[in-house]
Amino acid sequence: MIALSVAAVLAIFILYTSIAGAGTPEIGPSTVGRHAGEDVLLVGTVVGHVAGDAHAGGMRFLLKDDHGTSPERTSVLYSGSVPDLFRTGRQIVVEGTLRDGTFVAKPGSLVTKCPSKYTPAKSST
């Protein structure tokens, strides 16, 4: 009986993973090039100037890897709500697809992580 139920639960699980695929990749700007055209979560730190209007025509900014010294930068085009904590230097996660060198984000998918100010002071980005 127990074995049967466990098997049923497993079956549902496998059914799901086979239909819906196995998760969305979480990647940084240095490796996003390999996933052009795919739906991914882009994780990185905002660098440079933030231009445009997220509510009219879209906001543009550059992202670099959170860790490491990769020179890769990814240009992100985003529209929708901008979290309070968003600004240059913050670590963010945004969902979308890389198309012709620009990462086109899904509207409203931008999430900021806790500002580095609350981690030991030396880890400034």
Partner 1 sequence: MAQLGRAALLLSFALVAYALLGGSLAAWKRRRRLALSAQNALVASFGTTLVAAIVLWVALARRDLSFVYVAQHTSRSLPLGYALSAFWGGQEGSLLLWLLVLTGYASLAVLLNRRTRELIAWTVPVLGGIAVFFALMLCFVSSPFATSAAPADGAGMVPSLQNPYMLAHPPLLYLGYVGLTIPFAFAMGALLARRTDERWIVATRRWTLAAWTFLGVGQLLGAHWAYVEIGWGGYYAWDPVENAALMPWLAATAFLHSVMIQEKRGMLKIWNVTLVALAFCLSIFGTFLTRSGVVNSIHSFSQSPLGGWFLGFISIVTVFSVGLIYIRLPLLRAKTKLESLVSREATFLYNNLLLVALALTILWGVVYPLLTQAVNGETRSVSKPYYDFFLHSFGLPLLLLMGIGPLVAWRRASLRALGKTFAVPAGVSVVTGVVLLALGFGSSTPGLLAYTFSAFVAASIVLEFVRGRRAAGSLTRLVARNRRRYGGYIVHAAILLLAIGVAGSSAYQTIRERTLQPGQSMQAAGYTLTYVSLGTRQLQNAQQTSAVVDVSRGNSHVATLHPGKSWFPVEQSASNDVSIYHDPRSLGDVYTIADRISKSGALDLKVLVKPLVNLVWAAGFIFVFGSLVAMWPDAVEQRKLADRYAAVPV
C-alpha 97/C-alpha 81 separation (Å) is 18
Contact status: 89 vs partner 1 (CB under 8 A): no
CB 87 within 8 A of CB 112: no
C-alpha 27/C-alpha 30 separation (Å) is 8
> Within its chain, how far is the Cα of 25 from the centroid?
9
Contact status: 5 vs partner 1 (CB under 8 A): yes
Residues between 27 and 66 with contacts to partner 1, criterion CB under 8 A: 27, 31, 41, 43, 54-56
Q: How far is the CB of 100 from partner 1 (least distance, A)?
A: 23
Under DSSP, is residue 97 helix (H, G, I), strand (E, B) or coil? strand
DSSP 8-state assignment for residue 107 = T
| The binder of partner 1 chosen from 100, 101, 118, 124 (CB under 8 A) | 118
Residues found near partner 1 in the complex (CB under 8 A): 1-2, 5-6, 9, 12-13, 16, 20, 22-27, 31, 41, 43, 54-56, 81-82, 84-85, 91, 93, 111-115, 117-120
